[in-house]
Structure 1
Amino acid sequence: MNKKLDLDAMSVDEMWKLHEQIGQMLSVRLTSEKRELEKRLAHLRREHEMNPASSEALSAPRERRKYPRVYPKYQNPEEPSETWSGRGKQPRWLTAALKTGHKIEEFIISKAEIDAHGRRRRA
């Protein structure tokens, strides 16, 4: 198929035959590519089975880094059990209060409420 096709001059039947030929060619090529990929995958599996020590080192989960405990910095005065550390998304109670005109500084837990261990004192 070195010649250039004039699709405008072709009849519907000729175009349909061309469509079927292209479909056949694509089917053959896709099947052969699939076989090649399957062979490559089988080869990689054999390599993996022969050398399991190196693959275990790559797939072993790493130990999680220890983060320090984050203590709350803000507290809902209406519901003292609702606190927020200042990290992540703001809680709903704080977002609603800020929309009504309050300032975030109003919700800070004071140093007097925190004991020597960094925990909030009970009233």
Structure 2
Amino acid sequence: MKRLDSMDFDELLALKAKVEAAIAARVEKERKRLTASLERLDAIGLGGAPSRGKRGPRAGTGKGRKIEPKYRNPENADEVWAGRGNRPRWLVAALKGGRKKLEDFAVAPSK
């Protein structure tokens, strides 16, 4: 095989086309192999993740649903935190001194 830096432009383009064709053929071969494997697994009931249209037991639970706040800023009642994700800045700042505890900001559960 020739060195790449000694090839002229047309030879490099031809080589690039051959490499791309070989890669495409390998990708297609692997795709067919994986598809056949998935079909065999589906046939025996070991398909893993549910296929499109079917929902798992926990699919969609809570997504987009508002939850009640668990903590409220006593200085600004509009600032609340539900206890999920990172703590808001106002809560981190209030807890920093060590004088207050997280329980001090707890909201009474509404019924």
What TM-score, normalized to structure 2? 0.48
What TM-score, normalized to structure 1? 0.45
